[in-house]
Structures are given as C-alpha cells and as structure tokens.
Amino acid sequence: MSTPPPDWLPDGVSSPLDDKLGVQIIDWNPDRMVATMPVSGNEQPFGLLHGGATCTLVETIGSMAAAVGAGPDKQVVGIELNASYLRAATSGTVTAVCTPVRRGRTLSTFVIEITDDRGRQTATARLTCMTLNASKKV
C-alpha cells in the first residue's frame, strides 16, 4: 500500500458486498486511488466478469475517493454511474484506478479505468457523488 487510509476512517472500512466480491483498496491516494477485485467468484453464467461486479468495484472506489476528498465531517452518496465494457475479463484480478475529474463543494466526478492482469483495459466508468453534511439523513 503506497498511501494509507486517513486516520479518521474506521479500521478495515469495507461493506459486506465488497467483502463478498473481494474488493480491496490498495492505495488511498485521493488523486489516484487504486483497488483490486478477483474475477473468480464474480463471473456471470458465461464465465466473464459480471458487469454488476465491475460496477460495484467502480462505486466502491469512487465513493471512497469522494469520501476521503470530502473529509470526516461529510457524507457522500453516488448519484450517477456510467460504465462501458471494453474487453472481457475471464480470470485473474482486475485493477481499478480512480482519478478525480472535478471536486466541488457538493458534487465530485471521477473517472475509473479498469484493467486486467495484462494491463489491458476492460472497462471505463464515470461516477458522480454528492457531498452532504454528515448530520443529514439519506
């Protein structure tokens, strides 16, 4: 891990879905956050990485990037997700690299590029998150 998670995040922060899919954030740099996910166990019936699993990876890393950028007194929620699948992943691990397009007071947008073990791009996505005061209920 190059950049550790911020001190204010709970230890081992992840969701039950991330745990089921094997999503792991390996670099917490908010300007270039990186996460991985195994293909095995996350395939659709024809042996390809499931698009829903890919979207989970995108939503997780983008939302975490937005949360880290917003800070401990804010809450973030995804409001738009767009994903394009470019190449099938059938084995190994996929890696997601998340970079900010724009960070604003209330909206942040990220581009997430997903590659296979050979460095070939398998998907690209864009996630927009809304930043709320932590006291607001979603």
**Residue ranges per structural domain of the chain:** 16-133
pTM of the model: 0.93
Residue 113 known to be catalytic = no
Q: Tell me which residues of the chain have a pLDDT lower than 70.
A: 1, 135-138
32, 78, 103 from 57: Cα distances, Å: 15, 13, 20
Output the CATH code of domain 16-133: 3.10.129.10
User: What are the strands, taking DSSP E only, across the chain?
Assistant: 24-27, 33-38, 74-85, 93-103, 107-115, 121-133
pLDDT in tens, 114-133: 999 999 999 999 999 999 98
Catalytic residue among 43, 59, 80, 113: 59
